[in-house]
């Protein structure tokens, strides 16, 4: 393995974006991935001819990730989910329009919902009045009718993959709802998210980056300045700059005396959002009209990813059902039973049509999200107490969420590193000039 001045730990979206930016800037960079396959949670698994992401993934058009991917020249194809959505209420599926005009929704509730959605479309998600209160407080201030509240909670869960209204910052959550309400805002990527990973990897390698699989890191060596890395096989790599594109707890574990650094705050404040995912490939859809279904009285969501992206399966349809965990709510068997009951209502008879199936009882959707208990609203990119050490990942968002946070944080880390390199070079020139 070659020695490198810059090492990136982790080959997820954040690490690959940082690698592309640094390599395109002409810097020697090595990406170390402990697994045999690149991509982290963005990888795609093939099972019985079906392509399964690790749960249902979607890319928001116009978001940070989409902009960065386009800048790198990625060709991402796919389609948007239907606007004819349905809801699951009391074990029954019905079109959203019928639900809104049923006896469950009063006339005053419809007016209230219309006004609230109009306000969401106008709000500034970064404003203090919505960033300093939790989501439940905002919703209860704007909704007297319970059905309107339930519907908005469902939209937030789906857009943020988080079910924590008492902790979520209202601004970030509502900003994501605003984006999801725009027409054709969501892209289901053809070929699965592995196509994103593969194209990012190719872009990084083309620019000169080296990617190394099966390379676990045991420690980041430093004396206040990064000096290198010790790998799990005992080998050493000299490096003056490291981007840790891994969860905050993992970075904390790798750094000696991390409790004296900002890494302790970032680790302690992190609240992962987890979900249970039931991914299926079905020969046919027993109820083809039920393509996108929001759970109203249960924290579940269903989507058919094969409508807009038929290449996900050689035959049949790839669909995803997800249950968003509340805080402390995690029971693999009960969650799987809930998802199967939801599927019974959404696609009756689905059990006879299964070609492939995978179930993840406790999948991490994001390692941290914008919540009111967060001491540092904008973690990273640099670790102030260790020169040359930077962090990136979906937990290091500065107002972004999910893959947008991952991509944006990878770029922030790369740009900060490049800026620090320029400063170091200027300092060396000054020292050299003074010594003459």
Residue 308 confidence class, pLDDT cut points 50, 70, 90:
low
Q: Give the C-alpha separation, 109 to 100, whole Å.
A: 9
pLDDT at 428: 64
Segment 399-422, tens digit of pLDDT: 999 999 999 999 999 999 999 999
- In the chain the domains, ranked by start, together with CATH numbers, are 6-42+194-270+374-434 (3.50.50.60), 44-81+185-191+272-366 (3.90.660.20), 99-180 (1.10.405)
Contact (Cβ atoms closer than 8 angstroms) between residue 392 and residue 384: no
Q: Give the C-alpha separation, 183 to 406, whole Å.
A: 24
Instruction: Give the sign of the dihedral formed by CA 304, CA 309, CA 313, CA 314.
Output: positive
pLDDT at 3: 42
Contact (Cβ atoms closer than 8 angstroms) between residue 28 and residue 239: no
Maximal C-alpha separation, the chain:
86
Q: Give the C-alpha separation, 228 to 241, whole Å.
A: 8
Pairing assessment for the beta strands 241-244 and 389-391 based on DSSP bridges: parallel
Mean pLDDT, rounded, for 79-86: 86
Residue 433 confidence class, pLDDT cut points 50, 70, 90:
low
Q: Is the peptide bond before 289 cis (omega within 30 degrees of 0)?
A: no
Contact (Cβ atoms closer than 8 angstroms) between residue 4 and residue 19: no
The yes-or-no verdict on residue 56 having pLDDT over 90 is no
pLDDT at 329: 80
Pairing assessment for the beta strands 29-32 and 210-212 based on DSSP bridges: parallel
Mean pLDDT, rounded, for 87-112: 92
pLDDT at 5: 80
pLDDT at 104: 83
- What's the whole-model pTM score? 0.94
Segment 163-173, tens digit of pLDDT: 999 999 999 99
Q: Give the C-alpha separation, 336 to 316, whole Å.
A: 22
Judged on CB neighbours under 10 Å (0-12, 13-18, 19+), 103 is exposed
Pairing assessment for the beta strands 292-295 and 300-304 based on DSSP bridges: antiparallel
Which residues, at least 6 apart from 317, have a Cβ–Cβ distance to it below 8 Å?
281, 282, 284, 285, 304, 306, 307
Mean pLDDT, rounded, for 173-198: 92
Percent above pLDDT 70 for the chain:
96
Output the CA–CA distances (angstroms, integers) from residue 258 to 10, 218, 222, 280, 431, in the order listed. 19, 14, 11, 42, 31
Contact (Cβ atoms closer than 8 angstroms) between residue 89 and residue 104: yes
Mean pLDDT taken over the chain: 93
The three-state DSSP-derived secondary structure of 183-240 is CCCEEEECCCCHHHHHHHHHHHHHHCCEEECCCCEEEEEECCEEEEEEECCCCEEECC
Mean pLDDT, rounded, for 218-227: 97
Which residues, at least 6 apart from 217, have a Cβ–Cβ distance to it below 8 Å?
9, 32, 34, 229, 230, 231, 232, 254
Mean pLDDT, rounded, for 23-30: 96
Which residues, at least 6 apart from 350, have a Cβ–Cβ distance to it below 8 Å?
280, 282, 286, 343, 344
Query: What backbone phi and psi angles, to 5 degrees, belong to 301?
Result: -150, 140
Contact (Cβ atoms closer than 8 angstroms) between residue 44 and residue 53: yes
Q: Give the C-alpha separation, 9 to 70, whole Å.
A: 24
Mean pLDDT, rounded, for 310-323: 89
The terminus-to-terminus CA distance of the chain in angstroms comes to 38
Judged on CB neighbours under 10 Å (0-12, 13-18, 19+), 380 is buried
Percent above pLDDT 90 for the chain:
83
Which residues, at least 6 apart from 96, have a Cβ–Cβ distance to it below 8 Å?
85, 86, 87, 294
Long-range pairs for 144-148: beta carbons < 8 A, 24 or more residues apart: 144/108, 144/112, 145/105, 145/106, 145/108, 145/109, 145/112, 145/113, 147/104, 147/105, 147/109, 147/296, 148/105, 148/109, 148/112, 148/113, 148/116
Output the CA–CA distances (angstroms, integers) from residue 55 to 42, 81, 194, in the order listed. 10, 16, 13
């Amino acid at each position: 393995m070659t020695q490198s001045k810059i090492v990136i730990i982790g080959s997820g979206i954040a690490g690959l974006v940082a690698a592309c930016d640094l390599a395109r800037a002409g810097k020697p960079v090595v990406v170390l991935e402990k697994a045999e396959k690149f991509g982290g949670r963005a990888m795609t698994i093939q099972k019985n001819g079906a392509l399964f992401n690790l749960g249902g993934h979607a890319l928001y058009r116009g978001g940070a990730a989409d902009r960065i991917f386009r800048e790198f020249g990625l060709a991402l194809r796919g389609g948007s989910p239907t606007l004819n959505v349905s809801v699951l209420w009391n074990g029954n599926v019905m079109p959203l329009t019928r639900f809104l005009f049923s006896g469950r929704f009063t006339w005053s509730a419809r007016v209230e919902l219309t006004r609230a959605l109009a306000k969401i479309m106008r709000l500034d998600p970064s404003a203090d009045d919505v960033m300093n209160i939790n989501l439940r407080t905002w919703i209860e201030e704007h909704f007297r009718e319970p059905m309107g509240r339930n519907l908005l909670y469902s939209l937030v869960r789906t857009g943020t993959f988080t079910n924590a209204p008492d902790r979520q910052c209202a601004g970030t959550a509502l900003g994501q709802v605003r984006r999801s309400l725009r027409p054709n805002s969501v892209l289901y990527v053809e070929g699965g998210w592995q196509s994103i990973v593969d194209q990012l990897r190719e872009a990084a390698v083309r620019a000169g980056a080296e990617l190394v699989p099966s390379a676990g890191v045991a420690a980041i060596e430093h004396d206040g300045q990064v000096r290198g890395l010790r790998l799990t096989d005992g080998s050493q790599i000299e490096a003056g700059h490291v981007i840790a594109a891994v969860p905050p707890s993992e970075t904390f574990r790798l750094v000696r005396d991390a409790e004296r650094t900002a890494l302790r705050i970032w680790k302690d404040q992190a609240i992962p959002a987890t979900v249970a995912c039931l991914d299926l490939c079905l020969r046919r859809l027993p109820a083809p009209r039920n393509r996108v279904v929001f759970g109203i009285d249960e924290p579940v969501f269903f989507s058919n990813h094969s409508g807009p992206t038929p290449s996900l399966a050689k035959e049949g349809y790839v669909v995803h059902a997800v249950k968003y965990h509340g805080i402390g709510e995690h029971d693999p068997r009960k969650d799987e039973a809930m998802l199967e009951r939801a599927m019974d209502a959404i696609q009756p008879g689905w059990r006879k049509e299964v070609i492939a199936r995978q179930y993840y009882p406790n999948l991490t959707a994001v390692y941290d999200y914008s919540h009111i208990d967060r001491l540092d609203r904008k973690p990273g990119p640099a670790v102030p107490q260790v020169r040359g050490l930077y962090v990136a990942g979906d937990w290091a968002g500065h107002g972004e969420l999910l893959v947008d946070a991952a991509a944006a944080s990878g770029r922030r880390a790369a740009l900060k590193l490049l800026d620090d390199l320029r400063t170091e070079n200027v300092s060396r020139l000054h020292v050299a000039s003074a010594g003459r």
